[in-house]
A and B are shown apart, each in its own frame.
Chain A
Amino acid sequence: MARIEYAPAPESRAVVKLRRQYGLFIDGEFVEPASGEYYATINPADESPLALIAEGGEADVDRAVRAARRAFTKWSKLSGAERAKYIYRIARILQERAREFAVLESMNNGKPIKESRDVDIPLVAAHFFHYAGWADKLEYAGFGPNPRPVGVAGQVIPWNFPLLMLSWKIAPALACGNTVVLKPAQTTPLTALLFAEVCQQAELPAGVVNIVTGHNQTGAAVVAHKGVDKVAFTGSTAVGRQIAETVAGTRKRLTLELGGKGANIVFDDAAMDQAVEGIVNGIYFNQGHVCCAGSRLLVQESVAEEVVARLKRRMQTLRVGDPLDKNTDVGAINSAAQLARISELSDSGSTEGAERWSSDCALPDKGFWFAPTVFTNVSQAHRIAREEIFGPVLSVLTFRTPAEAIEKANNTQYGLAAGIWTEKGSLILKMASELRAGIVWANTYNKFDPASPFGGYKESGYGREGGRQGLAGYLEADHV
């Protein structure tokens, strides 16, 4: 039967009103960077410039930290109930302006609108709503009788879920009575700057949230600033390591949410159609720009051929292209640099002897694109089985017994996430207890929720974000 093509269904950009240029958001207002320098942020789907973004330097970071410190005095003394109402306001405004945020997120990040609209932005609002409710209940959170805020939090976030990562950082910090200086990723600052407008609409006291844009050295300045009491970082393990070294010998608290090489383990009794959907969701969701991606498929030998054949058939139906098209499944790679990294690692897979297969899809001429790709005949020694690719590239390995699956799944420096696909409940629990990973999804993958603690074992970092455990990083208390 002939395939029926979808007609284009682009989401309107009219809802987004971009300014030509954005300053830094410090002490409740947009200000010029000390250097006067700006850089262009682009749409990775077509490389068109979207706006000019301020390049924050050390002087700007210092100004932001001082604003946060001044604001801390009042904000930390405000009753939890009053803090909660501000955070609830933010959650509501985010819901009201959800479409605007979703479109802008897809424009600046390259992710499909169906993901920014149905996953990212709803989760952002939910995260603020969840932590708003904690603000006046901290003494019930189990950390002791007199929980107190840490102070000024310096937060550095990545480009893969720009606004979602902002919410994971800012919501618990504010709920616990801290003030923040947040540095968005250099390639995806726009939704963070739009969030600054939300803070203004919510009449959040000036200086409670400060947003300093820029490149790596801006983030490094936030981490190193002496006035910062707590550092929270999400990003690569290499940068996380540098941050841990920078923080050494100080009194700063530190939480890190870093890389991963998640094992998605499929047993021979798994519900095959669901498992294949789960594999696709595990690695091709958000172009594979996901720290907890199921980038290693471990499939039981007896069903390996069938699973790979079904997977390839399913991959052929993935629609790669315009992120703003409502039918798009896989959008643009976020940057030229990331595309180069994905290409280099994928080439190493071929060179080292793995078998490469990509879905047969037309890629746009402009922008950064990478077809969904799967490698078979992968050994544990291959770079594509060990290093985080952070792109739509899956490595398939096989196993015979649950013990072998555990051995292979745990054979990595990372320990963020894993998936298990089987209809046998006792096997799920056995695997879940042996896997050294912070999140274990059974018969599902990449499910996030503000009430659910998220974070890694081993070199995937330390500390948790989400839920009750997510408060610990932002509190001083007896049991922290």
Chain B
Amino acid sequence: MSRIDVRKTYKLYINGAFPRSESGRSYEVLDAGGRFAANAALASRKDARDAVVAARSAFKGWSHANAYLRGQIVYRIAEVMESRRAQLVADVMACEGLTEARAKRVLDAAIDRVVWYAGWADKLPAVLGNANAVSGPFFNFSVPEPSGVIAIVAPEASSLLALVSVTIPVVVAGNTCVVVTSRTRPLPAITWAECLATSDLPNGVVNLLTGDHAEIAPWLASHKDVDGIDLSGVEDAALARSLEAAAAVNLKRFARHDAEEDWAVRPNLRRLSRFLETKTILQPIGV
């Protein structure tokens, strides 16, 4: 008789812990073939608010952590992903219905993307900042700084590569975030959360919510302690419009859904600079 396997309970990832939804709700996740795969936690407004509190608490420490350290921690995420290949590939195959060979290529791309972004941590000020030639006896320079707590609606179809591609640049730049994952394909996200949890990433820097973005994202868009919102995963034009309008309540920095975006292509600075502020400091030269 074959052994009965031990199945995993899929939960949220908030403040470094894996809680169920405080609402007690869950939803059925089907694999690409339409078979039952798991019950995932259906995140609620309260979960979203808890996640924002966690992200805000983590912001000061993470944004002021030195860039070398941030780069190493993000690089370690790639290391842990590499060591969890088998499960990540299995999750992507199950959720996206890919062959093993294609799922492996997706994972390769996701890991390589993390490595690419990790290296940016200590280069952003050199590339995005500048000394300014002002016409007077002043030392004047501009440096990039993270915007703060960013809400991210991750794309629905690409369950791992897109998730990594929208989350990592925000974090490398020193922000903290609350990510609403793919609703129908949430399993790779939860496995990825386990990678994050074992990568020395401080608690609260990344928080992952599985569930319905049409339900949760409005609370994040109107939340006054959220500084920016990335609507990459919001394909519904009416919802995108209402979220962007709600985000105006505290002038959140926003990024819109881009139907043209190809997750397989190596990215550029756009996602890194999207949630950065420029701080200009000016001081007289003299005795």
Partner of A469, one of B134, B142, B240: B142
Query: Could you say which of B40-48, B179-187, B197-205, B241-249 contacts chain A?
Result: B241-249
Partner of A248, one of B138, B248, B281, B284: B248
Binary contact track B232-255/A, C-beta < 8 Å → 1, others 0: 000001101110110111110100
Q: Given that A444-B284, A479-B273 are contacting pairs, would A437 and B134 also be in contact in the complex, using a CB cutoff of 8 Å?
A: no
A367 interface residue, CB < 8 Å from B?
A: no
Complex Cα–Cα for A177 and B203 (A): 46
Query: Could you say which of B4-12, B79-87, B95-103, B125-133 contacts chain A?
Result: B125-133
How many whole Å from B138's CB to the nearest CB in chain A? 7
For residue A470, which residue of chain B has the nearest CB? B278
Chain B interface SS verdict (over half): mixed
How many whole Å from A121's CB to the nearest CB in chain B? 15
Tell whether, in the assembled complex, residue B284 and residue A438 are in contact, meaning their CB atoms are under 8 Å apart: no
A30 interface residue, CB < 8 Å from B?
A: no
Count A interface residues, CB 8 Å.
46
Q: Given that A449-B140, A459-B251 are contacting pairs, would A464 and B241 also be in contact in the complex, using a CB cutoff of 8 Å?
A: no
Tell whether, in the assembled complex, residue A440 and residue B270 are in contact, meaning their CB atoms are under 8 Å apart: no
Tell whether, in the assembled complex, residue B278 and residue A455 are in contact, meaning their CB atoms are under 8 Å apart: yes
Complex Cα–Cα for A442 and B282 (A): 6
Query: Could you say which of A63-71, A236-244, A376-384 contacts chain B?
Result: A236-244
B17 interface residue, CB < 8 Å from A?
A: no
Binary contact track B111-142/A, C-beta < 8 Å → 1, others 0: 00000000000000001101011111010101
Interface size class of B (residues with CB under 8 A): 35 or more
Complex Cα–Cα for A165 and B249 (A): 25
How many whole Å from A135's CB to the nearest CB in chain B? 18
How many whole Å from B242's CB to the nearest CB in chain A? 8
How many whole Å from A95's CB to the nearest CB in chain B? 14
How many whole Å from A419's CB to the nearest CB in chain B? 10
Residues of B within 8 A of A36 (CB): none
Residues of A within 8 A of B278 (CB): 438, 453, 455, 464, 469
Residues of B within 8 A of A73 (CB): none
Residues of A within 8 A of B128 (CB): 142
How many whole Å from B92's CB to the nearest CB in chain A? 28
How many whole Å from A37's CB to the nearest CB in chain B? 31
Residues of A within 8 A of B230 (CB): none
User: 13 A-B residue contacts at CB 8 Å?
Assistant: A142-B128, A242-B248, A249-B238, A439-B279, A439-B280, A439-B282, A444-B138, A447-B138, A451-B140, A452-B280, A457-B147, A457-B279, A478-B268
8 smallest A-B Cβ distances: which pairs? A249-B241, A244-B248, A248-B244, A449-B134, A479-B269, A248-B245, A442-B283, A245-B245
Interface residues of chain B, those whose CB is within 8 Å of chain A, are: 64, 127-128, 130, 132-136, 138, 140, 142, 147, 227, 237-238, 240-242, 244-245, 247-251, 253, 268-270, 273, 277-284
